[in-house]
Structure 1
Amino acid sequence: MSYPSIKDVIKKVNFRPQDHSQMPQRRYDLDWLRVILFSLLIIHHVGMFYVLNWGFHAKSQYRYEWLESVLLVVEPWRMPAIWFISGVAIRFILIKVTILSFISLRSLRLLLPLAFGIFIVVPPQLYIEMTANGDIVMDFWRFMQAFYDPQSTLFEQYQAGIWPHIDVNHLWYLRSLWYYSLTLVFLLPALNSNIIEGLKSWLASRHGFWTVLCLIVCVFAVQIIWRNDETRYPIGFLFLMLGYLVGWHTVFWQKLLTAIRPLCASFIVLCICFLIVYNLYYLDMYKGIELPHLIEAISLFTYSALRIVGLFLVLALSHRFLTKKTQKLAYFNEAVYPFYLLHQSIILVAGYYLTQLSLGAVFESLILLFITTAMCFLLFELIKRIELLRPFFGLKMQGSYPSWSVSLGYIIGGLLISPLIYQLIF
């Protein structure tokens, strides 16, 4: 009796989106939006160095409560938009490659930079954090020797991480995206089914208000169930699935274009309401005063609405105004991954030493933003010219290589990330 091979089974399962024939060549609006979102991420992390109440690895001597309200204009929808674009990208990829290729290529593209990041890029952040907290007084090179020493007792108070004291920090997005990508693979037969396609068509035929309301309720339910920082994980997966399901759905994007004005008005009203609640109630919570349950429920619902409305607004605006392909877009699109990997370490190292100079909040923050941006550009220009460094920063190899060399590269890459895969799974 013969049994079907894995490839035969995979061929019979519907892993490929049904609308593959309608796939556009490229979505330049989403490319532009991706660049903008990761630029906002850098600004957000610079801001985190100066806010009063929110935790960060190290802080400036200049801290402001009002800055939290500024960051909250962007905070609700920034990561949902990044996850949404990631979901759309997965839909594009799955049309071009087999499911096995998707899993292997996705693992290499995400986990090789993650492994490089946690062992090389992130350690300076821990050094600054421990130094700022007064837990260590040593130079960086002695710190790194202890960091790589599994017997070191230096990190007894810093055990959190993939391995003890070896954590992802700002690279949690890469870890989560790998988890979500694998989870999505198992859900693809259902997500690509006729039932889901029919449900999408039915929702598309309804008034956009009801679709928005349904999504707000879903997000609100998640925030009620997960009442802590862990909320970002189910929320991220929810928006990634939304991006995958919507993809290039014609009616969805057409409705977004016609709804720019109501989305903009709704966003302004919701933003004002949430900021009022935040400043009247949430700031007291940081002082130990318990938040009334009704106020908490209202604020969570408003925040959920801001996530959806803010996401749809930036998607609509980018689809309306950012559709042109330019050389700058190609450059910035390639720079996003290295910038993302590097920026937080630069912020913390530069910020820690800058704030000791007592330059004043305005000069210090402007200099910090300049140093972070300049260093990211300089390092990106260096990295992209060194072929062996490119895969560790999420960049494709530029050269043309024989097939055996390419295969060897994949094998070496797989071996390098295998301990990380084991640790992430088990």
Structure 2
Amino acid sequence: MRKNERLYYFDWLRVLAFWLLIFFHSWQPFNNFHWLIKSNNTSIIADILTVFTHGWRLHLIFLVSGLGTWFAMKTTKKQFFKNRFKRLIIPFTFASLFITPSQRFFQALQDKEAFQNYFYFLEGYPSRILDHDFSFSFLLWFKEIGIHLWYLPYLLVMTFVLYPIFTKIKNKEIKFDWIKNVMNKPYGIFVLALPIFTCRLILKPIFPAYTDWADFFTYLWSFLYGFVLINDIDYWMVIIKRNKNKLLIVGVLCSLSLIIGSSNENLVSAYLNPKFDWYHVLISTLSALIAFSWIMYFVALFSEKMNFKSFILPEANNSILPIYVLHQSIIVAVGYYIVQLNLGSLIEFLIILITTILVCLLLYKFLKRHAVLKTLFGIK
């Protein structure tokens, strides 16, 4: 990569990773998995899409976060962490206090809990949230307090954990010669899925809850890979592009296996309530290969098809954080009323999706005009 060269495909990849969340959360009311609000009209297509995308969507987000961290570290350490706090913790705190509680409100309404109004619900909200004892699994507080915003403090914790390693990588104090030797093997690239597999295999039976330590360390590897990738982009893109077809084939086969396996009670149990058995080994193998194969395939694909400038790209990039903060609360609020109309899963989904996108864009246009609101929503 030439100095100051802009890699537009990474910008597009970041936009994809975060905008996919709007689609993903908009179809959650229609699958057969637990979520905040549910429709009586379920769809097997929503089930399949959920199983397929959930295997790699968050790994893709952490990968592009690793890329962004590399660029953010071009400033001083003090300024870097100041910016991290401003862009992560301020939006998380503000939204957790004033935006995301509405999601619990609509969830409670659908569960037939009665409240005189939203403000009466808020009076009991702190005790509702704080009535937990997560003990060593304190990472779960991020999801309990911020709901979908757990990613923001997660990313800050990951940054603190990996910052010393990131510094050594940037200063070329850590060499990857032995890994590069493995990459020359026919299927050597898949060795990089081993750490994800190992973390899930060992930790998931101990910390099975979503966003607990098992998820933290599996996502941590994708975050690290994003940083390593951009630090030596020319080399790694040669490797990734060379293995593009293999990544796609492995990703498709493993995803199909997981989707088909979701009809097997033993495999479902191993996924939801993992124990140290062979079913867990199989699920961990599939999960690691799905996560790694798809995110690397998307890197290869976007480098070939999406490395171009567009007038919408700067705005699309700048809108990511505020829209991420807002989107799920809008989906839940709109969805609560729409699913009661019993219009069928496809019509309900489209109304929720389109309404959410329009409201998010309108709110973003408003927020970016006010300095205080820009800070509260992490807008640059």
Residue in structure 2 matching 1:235, options 214, 218, 222: 218
Post-superposition offset of 1:73: 2.0
Q: Does 1:134 align with 2:115?
A: no
Number of the residue aligned with 1:101: 79
Secondary structure, aligned partner of 1:356: helix
Shift of 1:265: 2.2
Greater Cα shift, 340-349 or 235-244: 235-244
Instruction: Tell me if 1:36 matches 2:16.
Output: yes
SS where residue 299 of structure 2 aligns?
A: helix
Question: What is the Cα deviation at residue 251 of structure 1?
Answer: 1.4
Asked if 1:186 is matched to 2:164, the reply is yes
CA contact (8 A) 2:182 2:188 kept: no
Task: Provide the residue aligned with 1:423 in structure 2.
Answer: none
Partner Cα distance (2:253, 2:142) in 1 = 45
In structure 2, the CA distance between the partners of 1:274 and 1:166, relative to structure 1 (3 Å rule), is closer
Where does residue 294 of structure 1 map in the other structure? 278
State TM-score, norm by structure 1: 0.78
Q: How does 1:380-395 map to 2 (within 5 A)?
A: 380-395=364-379
Does structure 1 conserve the Cα–Cα contact (< 8 Å) formed by 2:367 and 2:373?
yes
Inter-partner Cα distance in structure 1 for 2:361 and 2:238: 36
Q: Residues 222-258 of structure 1, C-alpha deviation per residue, up to 9 Å, x if partnerless?
A: 1112211222211121111111112152111122223
- Tell whether the 8 Å contact from 1:119 to 1:166 is kept in structure 2 after alignment: no
Rounded Cα–Cα distance in structure 1 between residues aligned with 2:36 and 2:346: 21
- Secondary structure of 2:288's partner? helix
Give, in whole Å, the separation in 2 of the partners of 1:349 and 1:244.
37
Corresponding residue number in structure 1 for 2:64: 85
Shift of 1:354: 1.2
Output the CA distance in 2 between the equivalents of 1:340 and 1:232.
20
Match of 2:52 in 1: 73
* Contact map agreement 2:67 2:230 (CA 8 A) in 1: yes
Query: Aligned with 1:115: secondary structure?
Result: helix
Corresponding position of 2:227: 244
Whether the aligned pair in 2 keeps the contact of 1:281 and 1:291 (CA below 8 Å) is no
1:208/1:255 contact within 8 Å kept: no
In terms of mean alpha carbon deviation, does 326-335 or 197-206 score higher?
A: 197-206
Q: Deviations over 1:97-138 (max 9, x none)?
A: 011111111111111111111011101111112222233322
**Which residue is 1:124 aligned to?**
102
Question: How does 1:146-225 map onto structure 2 within 5 Å?
Answer: 146-147=124-125, 167-192=145-170, 194=172, 196-199=174-177, 202-203=180-181, 206-207=184-185, 209-212=187-190, 214-225=191-202
**Among 11, 27, 46, the residue aligned to 2:7:** 27
The equivalent residue for 2:354 is 370
- CA distance in structure 2 between the partners assigned to 1:159 and 1:353 by the alignment: 33
Unmatched segments (≥5 aa) in structure 1:
1-20, 397-426
Tell me if the contact between 2:197 and 2:285 (Cα under 8 Å) persists in the aligned partners.
Answer: yes
Query: Relative to structure 1, is the Cα distance of residues 179 and 73 closer, same or farther in structure 2, using a 3 angstrom cutoff?
Result: same
Quote the Cα distance in structure 2 between the aligned partners of 1:351 and 1:132: 11
Query: What amino acid maps onto 1:39 in structure 2?
Result: W
- Structure-2 separation of matches of 1:280 and 1:334: 43
Asked whether the 8 Å contact 2:55–2:291 carries over to 1, the reply is yes
Aligned equivalents of 1:259 and 1:163: distance in 2? 39
Match of 2:31 in 1: 51
User: Using the alignment, how far apart are the partners of 2:178 and 2:331 within structure 1?
Assistant: 43
Number of matched pairs: 368
* Residues 74-83 or 258-267, more deviating: 258-267
SS in 2 for 1:388: helix
Corresponding position of 1:406:
none
Query: Which range is displaced more, 164-173 or 193-202?
Result: 193-202
- Asked whether 1:62 is paired with 2:45, we answer no
SS, match of residue 74 in structure 1: helix
- Equivalent residues of 2:39, 2:339 under 8 A apart: yes
**Greater C-alpha Rg:** 1
The residue number in structure 2 matching 1:262 is 246
Q: Counterpart of 2:247 in structure 1: which amino acid?
A: L
SS in 2 for 1:25: coil
CA distance in 1, matches of 2:81, 2:92: 16
Give me the identity figure in percent.
Answer: 22
- Counterpart amino acid of 1:119? L
CA distance in 2, matches of 1:164, 1:315: 29
Output one character per residue of 1:262-308: Cα deviation in whole Å (capped at 9) or x when no partner.
2222222222222222223467649x999993333223201211111
Distance 1:188 1:235, change over 3 A: same
Question: TM-score with structure 2 length normalisation?
Answer: 0.87
The DSSP-based 3-state class of the residue aligned with 2:371 is: coil
Contact residue 246 and residue 252 of structure 1 kept, 8 A:
yes
**Residues in 2 aligned to 1:69 and 1:164: alpha-carbon distance in whole angstroms:** 28
Which residue of structure 2 lines up, in the alignment, with residue 16 of structure 1?
Answer: none
- 1:196–1:226 CA distance, 2 compared to 1 (3 A): same
Contact 1:203 1:211 in 2 (8 A): no
Within 2, Cα distance between the matches of 1:224 and 1:50?
Answer: 30
Question: Contact 2:158–2:220 (CA<8 Å) still a contact in 1?
Answer: yes
Identify if the C-alpha distance between structure 1 residues 164 and 218 changes in structure 2 by more than 3 Å, giving closer, same or farther: closer
CA–CA separation in structure 1 for the residues paired with 2:293 and 2:141: 38
